Structure 1
Amino acid sequence: MSGEPLILVLDSGTSSTRAFLYDTAGRIHGQASRPITQHYPGPGLVEHDAAEIWTQSRACLAEVIAAAGGASRIAALGLTNQRETLVAWDRRTARPLARAIVWQDRRTADACAALKAHEGEIERRTGLRLDPYFSATKMAWLLQHDEAVRGAGDALAFGTIDSWLLFNLTGDHLTDVSNASRTLLLDLDASAFAEDFCDLFAVPRAALPRIVPTAGPLATLHPDLFGRAIPVTASIGDQQSATVGQGCLSPGETKLTLGTGAFVLTNLGASRPSPVPGLLGTVLHEVAGGPRHYALEGSVFVAGSLVKWLRDGLGLVASAAETADLAASVPDNGGVVLLPALSGLGAPYWKPDATAAITGLTFAATRAHLARAALESVSHQMVDLASAFSAAGAAWTQLRLDGGMSANDWLAQDLADMVRLPVHRPADVETTARGAAIMAAVGAGHHPDLPAAAKAMTPTTRSFQPRDLGPQRDRRLSAWKALVDQA
């Protein structure tokens, strides 16, 4: 390899897949993006074509590798991905057996309800709630309802998006510990899936991947893909990756990612989390040879996808950026309050059957009021999450904001005003990819540890200081609480 070493990152998200090139100082040298088709075959159902995800991912990687002058410039690859989305494929042909079931999908709500007696044990050991959000009930559903999956026998492979992409990239059936911790099948302090949970969900253990750390020498790419056996030195779930990319490496440091959903993670260090009402315990990262680190998480299912729905589903706005101007064009929400339960309600309510609702509509309501109510719903959910984290002894002192939706200045300021805390946003809001680059640089030995890598590779930030909204804040929260109670 000649010239400055470059870190290749594949960021496979819910609405797009992207590739980035970083140097070891955190500068971006190239990027490419391809959209991912969303399939909604029925109410509460959300699917992806896993073959499309691989095709688009491979195209993005090829584009940035070519722009870099070839694979000889690439020192390592880091992967980050949408987490709980489940893929079933035939390991002999590397072809999907069914459409991928996306993390937002709610088809297994009844199956979760039927297992309610086991919820306490599941939460105590896995840190997760028994909810359709997670992967295990998706596996059980496919085995019960899809003939191709059921008939695959020993060739059946299950995995989240990281596993699917790593299988195509390297031929190895792997998952990293951060993604494994989102399946309902992993004890938080274990290194293999729990046999009794596999039995509970009727998931064949042989169909599951091998668990590896988030950083280290994990695998190597097929040399015939891009001309060189590039080492894979990091694989990490997108929200954990964004936490690293925001430099939240010490206990108590908190980030909020506003993407398709909204996800708050507070670093807990090496302390294994105990069950907390309304919140999740999850693995944050594990560098090979080092201790496992954990986080407390609040997962909100709908954020950027709500604005996408306003644009594509209702035709209310022409672009996501337009919502900021519309929100600022009116002095308040005009009494309009929106509950964004388009995929049920996540933390801290956990109501998988809840549906979206809008109240306060009159002839005086305009699309500006609706756009403002949509953005305000994000802040309202963050206020409720802040209370849940505080009750758990993990009160926020500030928020580090990232994700595509965080570019909305009006929303960033409203968040600061409503949670009554400073909100800090980096100059580069794509911290998910940056976190994977940081992990990969450490895994490849280009930085001695995560703090050193984060210090070298994290950009500057802009701060939004909270303003006193007076009685308007109380009125908003009162109307919001009434709407949540109705759900």
Structure 2
Amino acid sequence: MNIETLEWDHYLCEKVFKIPVSILPKMQSSASQFGLIKSGSLQGIPVTGVIGDQHSALVGHQCLSPGQIKSTYGTGCFILQNLGSLSVKKVLSGVSAEARKSLILTVAYKIDGKPAVYALEGSIAVVGASMVWLRDNMGLINDFNEIQSLTNLFCTRFSRSICTLLGSQCKWFVHWSLSIYSKISLAPSDVGKCRFPNDRYMYFSSNETSVFRIKG
């Protein structure tokens, strides 16, 4: 989709992906009449809303005014900021050059008869998935509820400054930012290791790395 015209992009569809625009469905607003359910127990019920998962979270958290941000967590972490409903050129005028390179401009939603609302999206591929890695791949925990208590136990044994140093130095988990310039080939690394690290260190560093990437 061309996010300025809100129509199928003819160049991308037909030249790049070799898909005739004529066979694609009509573009409609997020809230509009899409049709009726054809079969099953819900047959005949109208479908009046279609919106992506992260965009629906933006609406669900009532981030309906420019500047408001939602951050939700699951396998990864997805942060969306409402940029308002001005033209693409105008909404981007307040976005730094660095953010334009590393974040994604997207159409957040559109209501019939009203201009489209745009958002800036930052996506981190691995956050909650790192906890699954600790459990399933490394066998260091049996239950996710263990993570916080073990992290706290680690921090009571060492000073906060040492914890922060160790956590910032350990990159056990690759937290890819899903953007135009993503480098999926990057491999995890563990640097700055000393005699202190143990399993609690890995719990702590996984949490610290998640926070570091989200804050960045």
TM-score w.r.t. length of structure 1: 0.38
Tell me, what secondary structure is at the counterpart of 2:102? Answer: coil
Partner of 2:171: 338
Equivalent position to 1:204, from 19, 23, 30: 19
Equivalent position to 1:294, from 114, 118, 126: 118
Equivalent position to 1:370, from 202, 210, 214: 202
The 2-side partners of 1:357 and 1:348 are apart by 23
Indicate whether 1:217 and 2:50 are aligned. no
For residue 213 of structure 1, report the CA deviation from its aligned partner.
1.4
For residue 354 of structure 1, report the CA deviation from its aligned partner.
1.4
For residue 338 of structure 1, report the CA deviation from its aligned partner.
2.0
The 1-side partners of 2:65 and 2:137 are apart by 41
Report if aligned partners of 1:258, 1:303 keep a CA contact under 8 Å in 2.
yes
State the AA in 2 paired with 1:310. L
Gaps of 5+ in 1: 1-185, 385-487
The within-5 A match list for 1:34-113 is: none
Tell me, what secondary structure is at the counterpart of 2:147? Answer: helix
Indicate whether 1:380 and 2:209 are aligned. no
Tell me, what secondary structure is at the counterpart of 1:296? Answer: strand
State the AA in 2 paired with 1:314. M
The 1-side partners of 2:182 and 2:173 are apart by 13
State the AA in 1 paired with 2:65. S
The 2-side partners of 1:380 and 1:325 are apart by 20
For residue 197 of structure 1, report the CA deviation from its aligned partner.
1.4
The 2-side partners of 1:360 and 1:208 are apart by 53
TM-score w.r.t. length of structure 2: 0.81
Gaps of 5+ in 2: 156-162
Partner of 1:188: 3
Partner of 2:159: none
When the two structures are aligned, how many residues end up with a matched partner?
Answer: 197
Identical positions, percent = 28
Instruction: Please tell me the root mean square deviation across aligned C-alpha atoms, in Å.
Output: 2.3
Partner of 2:104: 280
Pair 320,203 (structure 1): closer, same or farther in 2 beyond 3 Å: farther
CA deviation profile, 1:182-239 (whole Å, cap 9, x unmatched): xxxx2112232111112442331356443221112222212x3115322212111111
Equivalent position to 2:130, from 288, 292, 306: 306
CA deviation profile, 1:51-72 (whole Å, cap 9, x unmatched): xxxxxxxxxxxxxxxxxxxxxx
The 2-side partners of 1:317 and 1:298 are apart by 29
Equivalent position to 1:319, from 117, 123, 143: 143
Partner of 2:158: none
Report if aligned partners of 1:249, 1:267 keep a CA contact under 8 Å in 2.
yes
Pair 209,368 (structure 1): closer, same or farther in 2 beyond 3 Å: farther
For residue 361 of structure 1, report the CA deviation from its aligned partner.
3.4
The 2-side partners of 1:314 and 1:208 are apart by 45
Partner of 1:262: 77
